[in-house]
Structure 1
Amino acid sequence: MLPILPVILSGGSGTRLWPLSREAYPKQFLPLVGEQTMLQATWRRVAPIAGAAPIVVANAEHRFMAAEQLRECDATPAALILEPVGRNTAPAIAIAALQAQALHDDALLLVLPSDHVVRDEAAFHAAVHEAAAAAGADKLVTFGIVPAAPETGYGYIKAAGGEGVRAVEQFVEKPDLATAQGYVASGDYYWNSGMFLFKASRYLEELRTLNPAMLAACEKALEGAARDADFIRLDAKAFAASPSDSIDYAVMEKTRDAAVVPLDAGWSDVGSWSALWEVSDKDAAGNAHHGDVIAVDCKDTYAYGSRLIAMVGLDNVVVVETDDAVMVGHRDRVQEVKDVVARIKRDGRSEAAAHRKVYRPWGAYDSIDNGARFQVKRITVKPGATLSLQMHHHRAEHWIVVSGTAEVTRSDEVILLTENQSTYIPLGVTHRLRNPGKLPLELIEVQSGSYLGEDDIVRFEDAYGRTS
């Protein structure tokens, strides 16, 4: 039997869980169910049955978050592949299959989105083992979720009669309610989970027949990739030339060898705040709360926040609080948060893309105040971490150390600052900040100048490959 090689897809940047999920910090990097993030929980779930180290495919903009979160849960990917642009799941899986062949000649690829919940891990493992024999016999196996209700938000898979691994008769788009009710009543239809198991060679063989242009673009993108100790950075021009398509449209709906394994394991794609309420632990009144929440006479509510949230007399309401936004909505209408995000983008606001606190490979910064010609940030630098050697054309900076030790390079001068000490970085002066200590460095940065955008940075040296 070929080894089971997990392929974890972490390229999404969805905003259906705004304001918590943002383009720069999507839901797979959030601890929405339990203490681990969705990405970490995905690896933990599959690790006991993995026969090889995982291949992770991520958005290039999320590379440091993905690497750090995997490190925190002791996952060492065989490859962390960075997509320069999104091209949907079919090309992402093709890249992973090509890389798998380079590492193992061939393997059974267990393709998993990084942002799903599976409550019953034993049932999931059993379904994978059941699918493995069919995948080893050249079937392209998907996992069909036994429907708990006539859900209109999912695509469906119609299976042939029989038990266990069954042939796929049809993939069906998201139905209306009456059609979904008929599907569930028939017992022949399953929700489309977006999880798959097949040989790397078999998937590439089908793609070569069904979409040769896509495969050729992926082969070129991987051949021209830049590789270092941490990442495989796909050739941007070659990968952008690939057609953008899902694995369902590109392969599964066209192949003659599609098979489905029924899966009843408490699965959810957590596609909305309502879906997250459904998979969360609740009190006797049906309330699911995360954080410091006081609820008086409330029923079937969901609340998530970092500071005190007080709720009185609410039914079926969702309240989500972040540093820079609050979302309140009826639980039956929270899918419409996408309209809020669209309006934020249309108005040119930043809240759709990033949080007030922004994570970097060296630590994080939190923009705590700003106004005309000034901005104040709280900066945290990890022990041993170093920011880039850089300069700014339009702003000067004042740094005040709150705790820890800062090594500051300012032009040709290098100085050490400790708690309550400060320094000034004039406009146009080359500078760098490093934490030489064993404890986190915390400082307050006050920027002043005519332009304070993050793109006013010229990097000369950088440990993370971000030089200008």
Structure 2
Amino acid sequence: MTSGRNYPVILCGGAGTRLWPASRPDRPKPFLDLTGSLSLFQLAVRRVLPLVEDGGRLLVVGGEGHAPLIAEQLAALGAEATVLLEPEGRDSGPAVAAAAAWVEAQDRDGRVMILASDHHIPDEAGYRQALLTAADAADDGRIVTLGVAPTQPSSAYGYIRAEGQGLSPVATFIEKPDTVQAQQLIMEGCLWNSGAFIATARTLKAEILDHAPDIWRAVEGAVPAEGGPLGDGFLSAPRLSFDYAVMEKTAQASVLPLSLAWSDLGAWDAVAAVSQGEGTPHLAHDSAGCWVRAPDGVTVATLGVSGLAVIVEPDAVLVCDLSRAQDVKRLIQRS
């Protein structure tokens, strides 16, 4: 089969509440510069732009309220994209369907690459090669997800059990386990679910219609040909993740193991782990392993403490043990 053009799709959903107080509803995690001078969204765009040089197109799916941020950060990179704007978040199922419907209307054999906007993947060339390998399998009707070799037993991720080594069919998707279960899954060779999906537009339409027809029918007529706000039909789509709506049900699921560094930067401990040094320079005495983020002009000092995250914003400050970083979401829910 002749390979189609590539259509990377960057999903900008997600609140990033574990990264409070930096991540807020008006400027959530994807649009923050957590690992350098570029935002996570801009890094995601930069990673995949070379894939559209064959005549494909970059797509971005995000909320209407974040349209100015998306436009501003694309312009800063000199990047062009078709932007589909959700009137409200309906989880990843409708977002994926909207992108697939747009591509299917242009190029039925187009290779749709559903990617997160807020992950840390420093090996850009290696990641692009993995996407192309997955896309070659997608040309044969597969929906390929990328699995990450776990570095520790984490309860923050879902897991994938593959039927074999290398690129192979998915045997089972496992919901986020507790730490003991995660250790057992790692011993069994399971992979972290990275949340990336690669398939042709033709395959995505067929599988969504088969397993979640209400999503496709609600979304298909709501997709503007030139990009922009999605129509009111989008609001009637069931609120479901793509994993639950399609991937856990389809017989076409395959997984490609990734052999490169990856993190979803889900909490401050993950940000600290991938950052060089200790974040923002600060005054420290008898302190170790603290990670500080503060705006210019603010001095942070630590004395006789270790393993802390100190996050300073103009209107809020977070001080927490890095080992409790996953619990920041609970703190925000109580406020």
Query: For the superposition of Structure 1 and Structure 2, which TM-score range results when normalised by the shorter chain?
Result: over 0.9
**2:230 is aligned with what amino acid?**
L
**3-state secondary structure, aligned to 1:191:** strand
Assess if the C-alpha contact under 8 Å between 1:121 and 1:265 holds in 2: no
Q: TM-score, normalised by structure 2?
A: 0.95
The whole-number CA distance in structure 1 between the counterparts of 2:220 and 2:39 is 32
Assess if the C-alpha contact under 8 Å between 1:12 and 1:59 holds in 2: no
Do structure 1's residue 235 and structure 2's residue 231 form an aligned pair?
yes
Give 1:200 deviation, angstroms. 1.0
Query: Could you give the per-residue CA deviations for residues 33-59 of structure 1, whole angstroms, max 9, x where no partner exists?
Result: 111001100011112233422110010
- Alignment match, 2:138: 135
The whole-number CA distance in structure 1 between the counterparts of 2:114 and 2:141 is 16
**1:318 is aligned with what amino acid?**
A
Assess if the C-alpha contact under 8 Å between 2:16 and 2:266 holds in 1: no
- Alignment match, 1:7: 9
| Equivalent residues in 2 for 1:64-75, closer than 5 Å | 64-75=68-79
Assess if the C-alpha contact under 8 Å between 1:14 and 1:27 holds in 2: yes
The runs of 5 or more residues in structure 1 that have no matched partner are 283-287, 345-468
Q: Which structure ranks higher in relative contact order (CA pairs < 8 Å, sequence separation ≥ 6)? A: 2
Assess if the C-alpha contact under 8 Å between 1:13 and 1:24 holds in 2: no
**1:87 is aligned with what amino acid?**
R
**3-state secondary structure, aligned to 2:72:** helix
| Equivalent residues in 2 for 1:21-420, closer than 5 Å | 21-50=23-52, 51=54, 52-77=56-81, 79-162=82-165, 164-187=166-189, 189-222=190-223, 225=224, 231-236=227-232, 238-282=233-277, 288-290=278-280, 292-306=281-295, 307-344=298-335
Assess if the C-alpha contact under 8 Å between 1:123 and 1:263 holds in 2: no
**1:341 is aligned with what amino acid?**
I
The whole-number CA distance in structure 1 between the counterparts of 2:307 and 2:164 is 39
Query: Could you give the per-residue CA deviations for residues 387-441 of structure 1, whole angstroms, max 9, x where no partner exists?
Result: xxxxxxxxxxxxxxxxxxxxxxxxxxxxxxxxxxxxxxxxxxxxxxxxxxxxxxx
**3-state secondary structure, aligned to 1:16:** helix
Assess if the C-alpha contact under 8 Å between 1:109 and 1:199 holds in 2: yes
**3-state secondary structure, aligned to 1:46:** helix
**3-state secondary structure, aligned to 2:320:** strand
The whole-number CA distance in structure 1 between the counterparts of 2:222 and 2:132 is 33
Assess if the C-alpha contact under 8 Å between 2:107 and 2:201 holds in 1: no
The whole-number CA distance in structure 2 between the counterparts of 1:296 and 1:322 is 23
**3-state secondary structure, aligned to 2:50:** helix
Query: Could you give the per-residue CA deviations for residues 50-92 of structure 1, whole angstroms, max 9, x where no partner exists?
Result: 3422110010110010111011111100x11100011111110
**3-state secondary structure, aligned to 1:90:** helix
Assess if the C-alpha contact under 8 Å between 2:108 and 2:200 holds in 1: no
Query: Could you give the per-residue CA deviations for residues 314-336 of structure 1, whole angstroms, max 9, x where no partner exists?
Result: 11100000101110000111222
| Equivalent residues in 2 for 1:422-461, closer than 5 Å | none
Alignment coverage as a number of residue pairs: 329
**1:289 is aligned with what amino acid?**
G
**1:35 is aligned with what amino acid?**
S
**3-state secondary structure, aligned to 1:269:** coil
Give 1:101 deviation, angstroms. 2.0
**1:200 is aligned with what amino acid?**
A
Higher mean C-alpha deviation, range 55-64 or range 105-114? 105-114
Assess if the C-alpha contact under 8 Å between 1:98 and 1:200 holds in 2: yes
**1:215 is aligned with what amino acid?**
W
Give 1:297 deviation, angstroms. 2.0
Identity of aligned residues (%): 39
Give 1:178 deviation, angstroms. 1.8
Query: Could you give the per-residue CA deviations for residues 247-285 of structure 1, whole angstroms, max 9, x where no partner exists?
Result: 110111100010000012211111000111111113xxx
- Alignment match, 1:419: none
**1:314 is aligned with what amino acid?**
V
Give 1:220 deviation, angstroms. 2.7
Larger Rg: 1
- In proportion to residue count, which structure has more helix? 2
